[in-house]
Amino acid sequence: MEIIDGKKISAQVKQEIADEVSRMANEGKKIPHLAAVLVGNDPASETYVASKVKACQAVGIKSSELRYSSDITEEQLLEVIDKLNADEDVDGFIVQLPLPKHISEENVLNRISPDKDVDGFHPCNVGRMVLGLPTFLPATPAGIVELLSRYNIETEGKHCVVVGRSNIVGTPMSVLMSRKAKHANCTVTMCHSRTQNLKEITLQADILIVAMGVPRFIKADMVKEGAVVVDVGIHRIPSDKTKSGWQLVGDVDFEHVAPKCAYITPVPGGVGPMTIVTLLKNTLLACSRKHA
Ligand code: GUN
């Protein structure tokens, strides 16, 4: 069993991005600029946005954080997006999700210019991804493809089972793994909360990608011997084994599943660090496209 080290791989990719940014600067080109919009004080969103800003700084990408209180109206937020769309210096931006209930995520995502949509959430970019056209790929699924490819994990012709159908992870993940591409070309089955024979299907998985949002749901008896397991879940749960009184776990019961696997991603330090790497790559792409 080999643990897929997302921290190590993300550090490698970040170094490659930093080299590219510094090459752009040396050639007198514009430095990429990512803006992140944060509405409200959701602690997880605060942490994610802070990590994104920090990662930008580490690779030399310019970043701006725009914070608004949770009582901002949808109309005001749409105005913020219009300004970012028009701002020549901003190459790409994200609006951190989830948004407060009174704001329609659909309206907000639709308003972001597809050329600056480095999250890849705009319907145009989702459509381009499905058609296999060049676009901004969504961060987590693209980060997972990158991890599998950097570990030279054979995917062609394999049965990939994706558990979860969210717009952010499960749905794009199933599309990317089924593409006619070197690090894809899988037969994909997507499972979700209404799947009746989940265990029967997960047991067939050569590659099992779990993004269902239930702590330690996938048990050892649901995984085939020699499978590759990718755990997208991240949950903070109480623990009597740590000094802090809590610990981070994924959607997979790592302790019991890992011994059966050929490869497995840990939580933390697996998929998480790769998500930010994709965002940095997309920002670089947005900048180079605009100034090509
Ligand atoms: N919330 C959880 N994941 C993401 C993400 O990748 N992008 C944005 N904008 N919000 C998120």
Q: Identify the helix (H) or strand (E) that includes residue 276.
A: helix 272-290
Burial of 58 (0-12, 13-18, 19+ CB in 10 A): middle
Burial 275-291 (b: 16+ CB within 10 A, else e): bbbbbbbbbbbbbeeee
Per-residue pLDDT of the chain (292 residues; tens, 9 = 90+): 999 999 999 999 999 999 999 999 999 999 999 999 999 999 999 999 999 999 999 999 999 999 999 999 999 999 999 999 999 999 999 999 999 999 999 999 999 999 999 999 999 999 999 999 999 999 999 999 999 999 999 999 999 999 999 999 999 999 999 999 999 999 999 999 999 999 999 999 999 999 999 999 999 999 999 999 999 999 999 999 999 999 999 999 999 999 999 999 999 999 999 999 999 999 999 999 887 7
Relative to the CA of 95, which ligand 1 atom is closest?
A: 9
Of 46, 47, 48, best ligand 1 pocket probe by most atoms within 8 Å of the beta carbon = 48
Question: Ligand 1: residues whose CB is within 6 Å?
Answer: 94-97, 119, 139, 168
Supply 139's token pair.
Answer: 């961060």
3-state secondary structure (DSSP) of residue 13: helix
Contact 274, 143 (CB under 8 A): yes
d(CA 197, CA 265): 24
Handedness of CA 9, 54, 174, 131 (dihedral sign): negative
Residue nearest to atom 2 of ligand 1 (CA): 97
Beta bridge partners of 236: 248
d(CA 52, CA 67): 14
Supply 76's token pair.
Answer: 């005001």
Q: Which amino acid is at 220?
A: A
Supply 150's token pair.
Answer: 């950097």
CA 15 distance to own-chain centroid: 19
Contact 99, 108 (CB under 8 A): yes
**Where does 5-131 have alpha helices with state H?**
6-26, 43-59, 74-86, 105-111, 123-131
Of 39, 66, 97, 116, best ligand 1 pocket probe by most atoms within 8 Å of the beta carbon = 97
- Based on the residue annotation, tell me whether 52 is a catalytic residue of this protein: yes
- Which candidate in 14, 62, 91, 96 is catalytic? 96
Give, in order, the Cα–Cα distances in Å from 202 to each of 176, 208, 209, 222, 224.
19, 7, 9, 6, 8
3-state secondary structure (DSSP) of residue 50: helix
Q: Which domains does the chain have, with CATH numbers?
A: 29-116 (3.40.50.10860), 139-271 (3.40.50.720)
Distance 1 CA to ligand 1 centre (A): 31
- Based on the residue annotation, tell me whether 71 is a catalytic residue of this protein: no
Distance 72 CA to ligand 1 centre (A): 19
User: What is the value of pTM for the model shown?
Assistant: 0.96
| Tokens 């994709």 found at | 278
d(CA 144, CA 186): 14
Per-residue pLDDT at 89: 98
Handedness of CA 62, 64, 171, 198 (dihedral sign): positive
Query: Dihedral of the CA atoms 121, 127, 129, 133 (nearest 10)?
Result: -130
Per-residue pLDDT at 292: 74
Query: Nearest Cα to 264, choosing from 212, 215, 225, 214?
Result: 225
Supply 115's token pair.
Answer: 């050329």
| Tokens 């890992």 found at | 258
